Chains A and B, each alone.
Chain A
């Protein structure tokens, strides 16, 4: 157990639908990061939150959004899903990025 909890582990949904992925960071970590991992693109940074505030944005589509709540857990919302959104979605947390991230086990999203 890395200390970062992601739910659900697997999600199968239809095109056009909306899903919410949840992440609880490691205790004491204020930063949460979301990544998308696909076979051809590798790990792609989506967005970072620090203590409830958006800190950095990467290759996140407009159909995707995220937030971090006062208890520091975070949610990634994916809407109008397309087949190409099928991927592994990872959440990571850190105290300081220079010392590494702790990743959760990921949510495998399959859009059919």
Chain B
């Protein structure tokens, strides 16, 4: 079974702090996606990373795909209360019985003003 482990599970920080959340697996993925989910809503796609070592920036968010395509990280600079939510990583598999995205359990981020 392919698993994606996210850490930390919970993170509570003050506005203006920086943070990094991690997504790790023993499996290789063809690409990896990050989503953000707010209470009562479905996950919303933030970014897709495809190439090993790839770095993508989305305003204050920086996403990196590991060289071996088994892990990824999300770094947020100067966090704001609007960044609060559940951050999910999801790996796209190379076929297999699931044939779909494998989701981690997420990092629940709370940014206090």
Partners in one complex: yes
Interface residues, chain A, with chain B CB atoms under 8 Å away: 2, 4, 33, 35, 41-43, 45, 48, 55-58, 90, 92, 97-106
On B, residues with C-beta under 8 Å from A are: 30-31, 33, 35, 40-45, 48, 50, 88, 92, 97-106
Does A102 lie within 8 Å of B45, measured CB to CB? yes
Q: Tally inter-chain residue pairs, CB-CB below 8 A.
A: 59
A97-B41 in contact (CB<8A): no
Q: A104–B45 Cα gap in the complex (Å)?
A: 12
Contact in complex: B42, A56 (CB < 8 Å): no
Not counting A43-B43, A56-B97, A97-B101, a sample of 11 additional A-B residue pairs whose C-beta atoms are within 8 angstroms of each other reads A35-B103, A43-B103, A45-B98, A45-B100, A45-B102, A58-B100, A90-B42, A90-B43, A99-B48, A101-B101, A105-B41
Report the nearest A residue to B93, measured CB to CB. A97
Contact of B98 among A2, A58, A90 (CB under 8 A): A58
Asked if B44 and A2 sit within 8 Å, CB to CB, the answer is yes
Q: Which A residues touch B100, using CB under 8 A? A: 33, 45, 48, 56, 58, 97
Q: Which residues of A contact B98 (CB under 8 A)?
A: 45, 56, 58
In whole angstroms, how far apart are the Cα atoms of A104 and B91 in the complex? 20
Q: Considering only CB atoms, which chain A residue lies closest to B45 in the complex?
A: A100
A42 adjacent to B33 (CB under 8 Å)? no
Closest to A57 in B: B97
Cβ 8 A contact of B88, one of A43, A57, A102, A106: A43
B4 (CB) vs chain A CBs: closest residue = A42
Give the residue name and chain of the B residue nearest to A4 (CB).
Answer: B42
Q: How far is the CB of A95 from chain B (nearest CB, A)?
A: 13
How far does the alpha carbon of A78 sit from the alpha carbon of B105 in the complex, in Å? 24
Assembled-state Cα–Cα distance A4/B101 (Å): 18
Given the known inter-chain contacts A42-B104, A42-B105, A42-B106, please indicate yes or no for A101 contacting B45, CB distance below 8 A. Answer: yes
